[in-house]
Chain A
Amino acid sequence: MSIIQKIGLGLFLIGMAIFISMPFIGTYTLSEDQVISGTKDIHQDKMAEILAPMYGVEYGSNFSFLSAFNDHFSSYNDALKDQGAWDQVIWDDYGFPLAMSALESPIKSQPWLFLGLTIGLAVLGGLMFIFPQYRGEPEGIKNNGIFHSSATSRGFIGIATGTFLISFYVLLYWYPAYLANHVWMVNPVSLILSGNPASQWFLYGFIYTIAIAVMGFRMFRKYRGNKYQILRTSSVIFFQTAFAFLIPEILVLLNQPYFDFKNIWPLDYDFFYSYNLDTLVSSGGFGLFMLMWGILLIIIGVPTFTYFFGKRWYCSWVCGCGGLAETVGDPYRQLSDKSLKAWKYERVIIHSVLVLAVVMTALTLANYFSSFELLGNVTNQLHAFYGFGIGAAFSGVVGTGFYPFMGNRVWCRFGCPLAAYLGMVQKFKSRFRITTNGGQCISCGNCSTYCEMGIDVRWYAQRGQNIVRSSCVGCGVCSAVCPRGVLKLENGSEENRINDMPIIIGNDSIKVNA
């Protein structure tokens, strides 16, 4: 490690340390005005009354503030629940907006400074660490030491990284009030982009995009000389930065609906939710265009592009989840489970999620077009369940938090309903395959080891068979790490796409009946 890399690592760790310590900084003082402006009209009076004992009291930490808030709030709600007065119970979570406004902290008053000290230092340090990598070494992909490193072989650093990621996701989805400082920190960025104050989702999108970009630079170093990897990485950085992050924010600035043009149902599971349909329909021609665009992607875009290029056109070139997996997750790809058993679980789970998403959406639409007479409130319960179980817990906490434990494609492999849909097209009607180069395989296992989707690539390659699997996202790393030039991702004729070679090419002793 060069001196620049050591400094970089130091800066990165300082940035991370400040980032992690931020929930513990600042005091919280609530006022009636904050409650009035931070709650819905129908709840204003009640909330102002419930929280009155907290006004003017300075709480030294978010723990004491939120515990006081929860005490007052819950005692009110619990009393109503005991009486069975369900219609008066307040279901909204005001903890986060009130923590945001009650907060007094150096971060809130100096957001740019802290942005620099946390994300700024981490990015700078990360780049200082990444850029000198492989300097002076000839081009060539090296997975040197992957299984000797604690970070990438489920060692202590790996466990610590996973714990950090899981904790971040748990706070983000269920306890955002503890991230008030973090949200204030990125607030000025949000104001510049969309003119709106930041939410926890802006914080998430901001960090997500930066993480993809920085770790994308790592990909450029690691896979230098491999044009396929370089282009693919550039593509995911571009789609995340432009389509997932900037364009939706700018649309909001222009008074248009927030819309990610590359997100596709059923991954984008709330596309057909009533509020989204209402927003798009009521946003004039442009909203209708967005609606049509989304529908066309589902029924024409996915099958057409997947027919010509395989599901890689989306999963490893465009998708945001894929983008994170292919950059931030790249160091963990070897941790995916290659066993036949894992493949069996994979097929059951991912197709169950697809069925669930389709059924949920069908019920939602039926309900929507019957003006909620069919099922009333039931679809909301369904949405809450799906959002919690699949949207947050599976795709977020497990999907990303488990990178250092189960590899970087846990969600894409076991959970993503869009991947399941793309996979069916890829398997049954596509020109894409990974071609095996005749008899050149030596069964070394690099391809299987570095397959993030847990495909046992070698199983096919050593038999001279092409690899046609619904889960393959076409990242091309099997081909990149193959030492004998055996694997090539190709689009070609459907004829002979799936081949069987009982006797591998190069042995004329046995004549196999074609």
Chain B
Amino acid sequence: MSKSQHIAIIGNGISGVTLARHIRKADSNAQITLISGESKYFFSRTALMYIYMGHMKYENTQPYEPWFWEKNRIDLKEAWVETVDYSTKDLIFANGEKLRFDKLVLAVGSKPNKFGWPGQDLKGVQGLYSKQDLELMEENTKDQFDRAVIVGGGLIGIEMAEMLAYRNIPVTFLVREEGFWTNVLPKEESDLVGRHIREHHIDLRLSSELDEILSDESGRVRAVKTKAGEEIACQFVGLTAGVSPNVQFLKGSELEVNRGIKVNEFFETNIPDVYAIGDCAEFQTPPAADRRNLEQVWYTGRMHGETLAQTLTGKRTSYRPGHWFNSAKFLDIEYQTYGTVPSSWDTEKVDSFYWEHRNGKVCFRMLMDKEGRFLGVNNFGFRLRHEFFDKALTQKWTGAKVIKNLDKANFDPEFFAPYHQLIQDQFLNDYGGDFAVAKSSFIQKLFGAKL
């Protein structure tokens, strides 16, 4: 552990901040500078929508009070980095200022995808990723107007739709695929979310692709045209067709950049003492069989930070993610997933058990291999316990054992309907088994929500 190495981290999102915290935990000497032009203080990007909807103020989205950084001697620098001089180990800021580093970590995140659509840079057309994007969206939607169009059916798209609905702005939601988020969700889950989107009076258009965005005289969007030739009048367009690494300013140097910054399993780039983590890092080989080269999720960003901190404090550690998990909320319906549940699977090799409540808003899917071994779950509209599934995956439980113990996996608040009973019941019907449906307590029967 070097006495006083200066570690500069560009980007104060979850990856950079987790890294800084964990370096400080293990090394009380290192000089740590956390650099961001977006905001001085770390805030939760995932909460931007709640600021717009009045659930929270911007300050509420900051996980740490200002004293935290001082106390942990993490220097905050609010500035945009323009270029990096890798030979002299200098960061050059937009205002010409320089900062010398011993080690550099690039945690620069993503930017919304723009696929070269005509009109994609018109006024009133934007993505939503950064604090500045949110401010722009406030500005773009401050006057009441007739319609907004959202292009791209993923997590940010549905968030944007919810935000606009809060302002009573009618929304048309263009999704290129046949269902919502079908690159991640199996058909039934995608349909469930689609129904819920429509239940919220959002005009969901599946199999609809953007062709071009049309301008009025002032250079502001007036309509979009779909590939089918339909023109939809609108005053705002949200581009939410995914994100890609925010690496434009790093291109054209000796740093190896493809879609993201190329790294090995130690987050090392091709330049010594320069690392990349989070959304912007592109692995040379995926970290696990069910993983991709780019990991653009909150949780993986956090894990990258935890792991690289080990290396930077003297314990060179490779990235070995555990069992996959994720979560989201689609309007009112919560979603969690543990293990591997892709949008489609080889039915020769994988068995799918699917249960859906008759209300069409709660569902559960479990995948098993042909030996009955548990592979993963999706759950919508109710909550399941992370620790339970992590253990089931590590100990290679069978699907039957998971279902048998499903009452212990329930993470819904007390008195909520015990959906696990219906799931167990259907599993016993479909597959048989040597267990009985879990019983409710007397109090639960008396006061709890009914199935």
Question: Hey, which bits of chain A sit against chain B, CB under 8 A?
Answer: 138-140, 143-149, 226-228, 231, 339-340, 435, 437-440, 442-446, 448-449, 458-459, 462, 476, 479-480, 483-485, 488-490, 502-510
- Which residues of chain A are near B55, meaning CB under 8 Å? 143-144, 146-147, 446, 449
B67 within 8 A of A: yes
Q: How far is the CB of B121 from chain A (nearest CB, A)?
A: 30
Q: Known contacts being A143-B55, A449-B60, is A444 close to B413, with CB within 8 Å?
A: no
B271 within 8 A of A: no
Q: How far is the CB of B278 from chain A (nearest CB, A)?
A: 14
Q: Known contacts being A144-B166, A440-B336, is A138 close to B390, with CB within 8 Å?
A: no
The contact of A140 among B50, B317, B332, by CB within 8 Å, is: B332
The reply to whether B332 and A442 form a contact with Cβ atoms under 8 Å apart is no
- Which residues of chain A are near B139, meaning CB under 8 Å? none
A485 to B386, CA, bound (A): 10
A367 to B55, CA, bound (A): 53
Q: How far is the CB of B281 from chain A (nearest CB, A)?
A: 14
The reply to whether B54 and A444 form a contact with Cβ atoms under 8 Å apart is no
Within B355-379, the residues touching A (CB, 8 Å) are: 361
Q: Scoring B residues 320 to 344 as 1 if CB is less than 8 Å from chain A, else 0, what string do you get? A: 1111010111011010100000000
- Which residues of chain B are near A480, meaning CB under 8 Å? 413
Q: How far is the CB of B179 from chain A (nearest CB, A)?
A: 20
Q: Known contacts being A507-B321, A509-B310, is A446 close to B50, with CB within 8 Å?
A: yes
The contact of B447 among A231, A445, A502, by CB within 8 Å, is: A231
The reply to whether B56 and A440 form a contact with Cβ atoms under 8 Å apart is no
Q: Which of B129-137, B218-226, B301-309, B430-438 contacts A (4 or more CB under 8 A)?
A: B301-309
Q: Known contacts being A505-B390, A506-B321, A509-B306, is A437 close to B44, with CB within 8 Å?
A: no
The contact of B322 among A138, A146, A147, A506, by CB within 8 Å, is: A506
What number of B residues sit within 8 Å (CB to CB) of A? 60
Within B198-217, the residues touching A (CB, 8 Å) are: 199-200
Q: Which residue of A lies closest to B67 (CB)?
A: A340
The reply to whether A508 and B320 form a contact with Cβ atoms under 8 Å apart is yes
Q: Known contacts being A138-B199, A437-B385, A444-B50, is A483 close to B334, with CB within 8 Å?
A: yes
B77 within 8 A of A: no
The reply to whether B14 and A438 form a contact with Cβ atoms under 8 Å apart is no
A121 to B67, CA, bound (A): 50
The contact of A503 among B299, B306, B332, by CB within 8 Å, is: B306
The contact of B413 among A139, A148, A476, by CB within 8 Å, is: A476
The reply to whether A505 and B322 form a contact with Cβ atoms under 8 Å apart is yes
Q: Which residue of A lies closest to B308 (CB)?
A: A509
- Which residues of chain A are near B227, meaning CB under 8 Å? none
B1 within 8 A of A: no
The reply to whether A227 and B448 form a contact with Cβ atoms under 8 Å apart is yes
B259 within 8 A of A: no
Question: Hey, which bits of chain B sit against chain A, CB under 8 A?
Answer: 14, 25, 44, 46-47, 50, 53-57, 60-63, 65, 67, 166, 196, 199-200, 298-299, 302-303, 306-307, 310, 317-323, 325, 327-329, 331-332, 334, 336, 361, 383-387, 390, 411-417, 447-449
A117 to B189, CA, bound (A): 53
Q: Known contacts being A138-B331, A446-B50, is A509 close to B303, with CB within 8 Å?
A: yes
The reply to whether A228 and B44 form a contact with Cβ atoms under 8 Å apart is no
A144 to B65, CA, bound (A): 25
What are 6 A-B contacts with C-beta separation under 8 Å? A147-B56, A226-B416, A445-B62, A506-B299, A506-B325, A506-B390
- Which residues of chain B are near A144, meaning CB under 8 Å? 53-55, 166
- Which residues of chain B are near A445, meaning CB under 8 Å? 44, 47, 50, 56, 60-63
8 shortest interchain CB distances as A-B pairs: A438-B386, A140-B332, A485-B383, A444-B47, A148-B54, A227-B415, A483-B329, A508-B322
A462 to B14, CA, bound (A): 11
- Which residues of chain B are near A506, meaning CB under 8 Å? 299, 303, 321-323, 325, 386, 390
Q: Known contacts being A459-B63, A509-B319, is A446 close to B47, with CB within 8 Å?
A: yes
The reply to whether A509 and B320 form a contact with Cβ atoms under 8 Å apart is yes
A160 to B217, CA, bound (A): 47
The reply to whether B63 and A437 form a contact with Cβ atoms under 8 Å apart is no
- Which residues of chain B are near A449, meaning CB under 8 Å? 55-56, 60
A502 to B57, CA, bound (A): 29
The reply to whether A438 and B387 form a contact with Cβ atoms under 8 Å apart is yes
Q: Which residue of A lies closest to B323 (CB)?
A: A506
Q: Which residue of A lies closest to B200 (CB)?
A: A138
The reply to whether A507 and B386 form a contact with Cβ atoms under 8 Å apart is no
Q: Known contacts being A138-B200, A459-B63, A509-B321, is A446 close to B336, with CB within 8 Å?
A: no
The contact of B383 among A226, A340, A488, by CB within 8 Å, is: A488
The reply to whether B413 and A228 form a contact with Cβ atoms under 8 Å apart is yes
- Which residues of chain A are near B320, meaning CB under 8 Å? 507-509
In this complex, the member of A138, A146, A437, A445 whose beta carbon has the largest number of chain B beta carbons within 10 angstroms is A445
Q: Which residue of A lies closest to B327 (CB)?
A: A484
The reply to whether B44 and A507 form a contact with Cβ atoms under 8 Å apart is no
Q: Which residue of A lies closest to B315 (CB)?
A: A510
- Which residues of chain B are near A440, meaning CB under 8 Å? 299, 325, 327, 336, 386
The reply to whether B416 and A443 form a contact with Cβ atoms under 8 Å apart is no
The reply to whether A228 and B321 form a contact with Cβ atoms under 8 Å apart is no
A339 to B68, CA, bound (A): 11
The reply to whether B54 and A145 form a contact with Cβ atoms under 8 Å apart is yes
The reply to whether A437 and B46 form a contact with Cβ atoms under 8 Å apart is no
- Which residues of chain A are near B447, meaning CB under 8 Å? 227, 231
- Which residues of chain B are near A459, meaning CB under 8 Å? 63
Interface contacts beyond A227-B415, A509-B318: sample of 19 additional A-B pairs, CB < 8 Å, sorted by A: A138-B361, A144-B54, A145-B53, A145-B166, A146-B55, A227-B416, A442-B44, A442-B47, A484-B327, A484-B334, A488-B413, A489-B414, A504-B302, A504-B306, A506-B299, A506-B390, A509-B303, A509-B317, A510-B310
A479 to B199, CA, bound (A): 24
- Which residues of chain A are near B322, meaning CB under 8 Å? 505-508
A138 to B416, CA, bound (A): 17
The reply to whether A510 and B317 form a contact with Cβ atoms under 8 Å apart is yes
Q: Which residue of B lies closest to A490 (CB)?
A: B414
In this complex, the member of A143, A480, A507 whose beta carbon has the largest number of chain B beta carbons within 10 angstroms is A507
- Which residues of chain B are near A485, meaning CB under 8 Å? 327, 334, 336, 383-384, 411
The reply to whether B336 and A149 form a contact with Cβ atoms under 8 Å apart is no
In this complex, the member of A226, A435, A459, A508 whose beta carbon has the largest number of chain B beta carbons within 10 angstroms is A508
